[in-house]
A and B are shown apart, each in its own frame.
Chain A
Amino acid sequence: MRKLRADTLFFLLVTALLGLANFLNVEKPAVSELEQRSLAARPEFSVQALFNGTYFKDYENYYSDTFIFRESIVKAGREIAQAFSFLSPGVSLTAGYEELPAPPEQEKEPPAEEPREMEKPPDDAPLLPEMDDGDDQNVGYWLVVEGRAVQLFKFDKDSFNYYADVLNRYQAELGRGVKIYSLIAPSNSEFVQLKRYSGITDSQNEALNYLKRRLAPGILSINAYDALNSHAGEYLYFRTDHHWTALGAYYAYCAFIEAAGEPPVPLERYRRVDLEGFLGSSYTKTLDKSLEENPDTLSLYLPFTEHEFTVYYAAEGRRSKVIDLQYAESKTDKYLVFISSGGGTWGVIKTEVKNGKRILVLKDSFGNALVPFLLPHYEEIYIVDSRFYSAAAAGKDILQFIRDNRINEVLFVNYMENVNWRKFMEGVQALLGG
């Protein structure tokens, strides 16, 4: 042993000790809050899995996924990597390269097996809730510039054509009795001054103008872009999360409600609550140090309208909160406070406003922050997320759902990146059934 060099001994020691530490560490984590995903579980042994090679492969994934001190090591690695990019202070590009998560299959039963880590439902609950953690595809570029993450937009014409086709079909099916509004939430790259980097992201305004020409005349296109752009200096988007803030959603709501012919409720009427220390999806995606040092504040505007909010998991309804503070403590999931994560097969808010107006908000997670502002205007607000609604779970397709509830307005609220992603809109199309 004396003739072994120091680095040889170091090598043997480090590898063996890490191996031993992993062996002794029996309490393996199942979920990574940082990555917002469940970690690979120890694979079940079966002869079939052994012979087709998946057993060893899964075991290796499990081993590295549950490696001791993994999250600290991951963060240290990012910091080292970032320390080496000092030539371009404040700017870095992170490419997402994972496979697309598939939208849920519409015909399947709502997911019942996946246990939820954050909030245990009552023991007698027959079905576990789905949760709306976000929406867009998991690829693309995040540009971090001056402590702010920006998701870059690459205009895909075919997807926009498809979005128009889907909405036009809704209109054709629903006829004149139901008003249809299309509201697309721009991604924040449009409002960050990218000076040196112009050309790196495509113009979303042009994409929206392109879309407007393709929507059937009866569909009212709400220009959220202009509404937000006229307040460009304000806190419209989070720096560390791809969503808009409640303020950003409020300006989009103003544009919508004015188009629908009503004056918006002034923001001052709401009582504001601030939640500090929010590090959202863009942070978990990039693990950028400048984002971590610059967390967001999530502001809430508490509704003043009397209401009752029920979320249905298949046929089972559960009382819920429009502003659900059980998520306020989470570091990375604070956005779920809006309409209590926005999950479930569908939801309905019944208000004290007895004006006979019933709206369906067909939305992704960008709709979550907008819905609370609709309370003063509607008697009933139905909420459907195309990823969680299915005819099998709800007992009817979306057209029947609209007819049965005598809904007279449908508002589509989707994130620009989802409109730009055909697979997502296929889910919206699938709601129509047959």
Chain B
Amino acid sequence: MVFSSLYFLCVFLPLNLLLYYLIKNRTYRNWLLIITSLFFYAWGEPVWVALLIFSTLFDYVNARVAGKNRDNWKGRAAVALSITGNLLILGFFKYAGFIAENLNSLLGAGLGVTAFGLPIGISFYTFQTISYVVDVYRGETEAQQSFPRLLLFVSLFHQLVAGPIVRYSDIAREIEARVETPAQFNYGVSRFIMGLGKKVLIANTAGKLSESFLGTDYSRLPVTGAWLGIFLFALQIYFDFSGYSDMAIGLGKMFGFTYKENFNYPYISRSAAEFWRRWHISLGSFFRDYVYIPLGGNRRRYLLNLLVVWSLTGLWHGAGWNFVIWGLYYFVLIFVEKKLLLRVFEKLPSIVSRIYLWVAVLVGWVFFYHLDLGEALQFLGIMFGVKAAAFSGPEVAIHFLSNAVFLAVAAICCTPVTRFIGERSKRLFPEKQGGAAFLAGKVLPPLAGAAVLVLSIIFLVGQSYNPFLYFRF
């Protein structure tokens, strides 16, 4: 199930909330969350729910061993076992095909390629349990003595399938003793609606529009079409992913959990390094805390550490060379920025670095989108005028004009505009100044929330509109 499905929205969530708040006892509430989360996961992965439980059990044991043996080999062995085990699971499901394929073409080894699909969320929950065991070993948190409570941490449906990668230490206390308050609930609902709107209204629309340009016959693609296409993809991936994180954070709040922010307006960055401090923060901080710093960070073999982290970051996004290249591309950018560009940008107006960032990110998405390197290079060529069919065309013009409002709204939503308006209105209408302040503070936000919800549901139903003109086939 995904959050942006009608069944989740109209059946799973209302029922879940109803039962949750009918129950008063903390332990039973946790059990309800475990059962509904496992059901939620089984909805998409009826078989691999067993793997999820097994993986949790495995690290439940590892963490308890590591927690008791922080200063001897047993602790280190438990951590090593956990990391190996999780990476083996991840490797088997996610990368076996990729590795076999490359070995075959490299050595001519006739390795069979496993046909298992990738279990949903496996990239997220394996990282969560690794970080849990390592944190216990490092003494940053205590090992969980109760298996159901650990299972609750791993399986919580809010963040199970698409992150953020929640650290156990961040919600350890909330698992045992959290307080659900109306204020939190209000925040959770409006955050969830915001995420839903991002996903349904912006990401899905951008995705559908991008299909007119991406993956089409590139020999007909004009320069402006390539730019518009990859810009739409940039909108799609940001609003899709950050919308999902918003929904996760909002759902957490509805049930009394606080997850850390995962996105912080990445597209307003002024360098690739800043972009990655604002994009998928929980992944970046995972690699920082569990790979980059243990390897020596800035102090030792800096360049190598950076290279390792960015190759892994690329590879984490998918088992394909295009993702590796995408990661290495950021390695190069960040290195060059550190050595040269950032100092140059300081002397220039900020618009230069902003344009640089947008071009850099869009070029990056070209590699991210195209699994085939040849296509990526062809597309990149068109963006910069190499072998482009034309500079522009009527099709691009019609799409651009018909969707100008959408494009403008989406672009504005990439910036902290709501925060800006909120702060402005507070300054314009200090508290207790009557009508206008009341309107700006108490009336408009709920109205906007309600409108986004209604629009999202309308669009969700609309997305099931699939006119199959010729159903007699």
- What is A's interface to B at a CB cutoff of 8 Å? 3-8, 10-12, 14-16, 18-19, 22-23, 34-38, 50-53, 55-56, 59-61, 63-65, 67, 70, 73-74, 76-78, 80, 84-88, 91-93, 95, 97-98, 101-104, 114, 130-135, 138, 141, 143, 196-200, 281, 284-285, 287, 343, 387
Contact = CB atoms under 8 A, between A and B. Distances in A.
A281 B471 CA distance: 12
A141 B17 CA distance: 44
Given A15-B10, A52-B46, A63-B6, 8 more contacts: A3-B183, A5-B446, A16-B10, A53-B47, A63-B11, A85-B401, A199-B394, A200-B394
13 contacts: A3-B182, A7-B186, A7-B449, A12-B17, A22-B10, A56-B44, A64-B6, A64-B464, A70-B461, A86-B405, A101-B473, A135-B470, A138-B470
Contacts of B183: 3
A35 B394 contact: no
B377 interface: no
A60 B10 contact: no
Contacts of A5: 186, 189-190, 446
B469 A51 contact: no
A25 to B, nearest CB: 12
A8 B189 contact: yes
Contacts, number: 200
B5 A35 contact: no
A19 B11 contact: yes
A85 B186 contact: no
B416 interface: no
Interface stretch (B60-68, B135-143, B452-460): B452-460
B1 to A, nearest CB: 7
Given A10-B450, A11-B193, A200-B398, A133 B471 contact: yes
Contacts of A52: 46
Contacts of B462: 73-74, 77-78
- Interface size class on chain B is 35 or more
B78 to A, nearest CB: 33
A183 to B, nearest CB: 21
Nearest to B471: A37
A102 to B, nearest CB: 6
B469 A14 contact: no
A78 B465 CA distance: 10
Contact of A77 (B43, B399, B459): B459
A133 B193 CA distance: 41
B45 interface: yes
A3 B184 CA distance: 11
Interface string B266-283: 000000000000000000
A343 B185 CA distance: 58
A19 to B, nearest CB: 4
A233 B9 CA distance: 52
B468 A138 contact: yes
Contact of B461 (A12, A73, A199, A285): A73
B193 A67 contact: no
Given A7-B190, A74-B461, A91-B398, A37 B453 contact: no
Nearest to B460: A64
Contacts of B468: 35-37, 98, 101, 138
Contacts of B17: 12
A403 to B, nearest CB: 29
Contact of A36 (B14, B42, B471): B471
A215 B44 CA distance: 52
Contacts of A8: 185-186, 189-190
Nearest to B2: A60
A104 B471 CA distance: 11
B13 interface: yes
A18 B10 contact: yes
Contacts of A74: 461-462, 464-465
Contacts of B46: 50-53, 55-56
Given A4-B186, A138-B470, A197-B398, A12 B14 contact: yes
B428 interface: no
Contacts of A285: 467, 469
Nearest to A86: B405
B372 interface: no
B176 interface: no
B469 A95 contact: no
Contacts of A198: 394
Q: Which of B5, B208, B446, B465 has the most CB of A within 10 A?
A: B465
Interface string B176-188: 0000001101100
B24 to A, nearest CB: 16
A14 B457 contact: yes
Interface in B41-82: 42-47
Contacts of A7: 186, 189-190, 193, 445-447, 449-450, 453
B182 to A, nearest CB: 4
B423 to A, nearest CB: 20
A36 B467 contact: yes
B405 A85 contact: yes
Given A3-B183, A64-B7, A284 B44 contact: no
A15 B45 CA distance: 25
B146 interface: no
B418 interface: no
B472 interface: yes
A134 B470 contact: yes
A53 B44 contact: yes
Given A15-B10, A70-B464, A60 B398 contact: no
A199 B389 CA distance: 12
Contact of B208 (A11, A76, A95, A281): A95
A51 B45 CA distance: 8
Given A14-B453, A51-B47, A87-B402, A133 B472 contact: yes
B341 to A, nearest CB: 37
B414 to A, nearest CB: 18
Nearest to B390: A199
B472 A132 contact: yes
Contacts of B402: 85, 87-88, 91-93
A23 B222 CA distance: 50
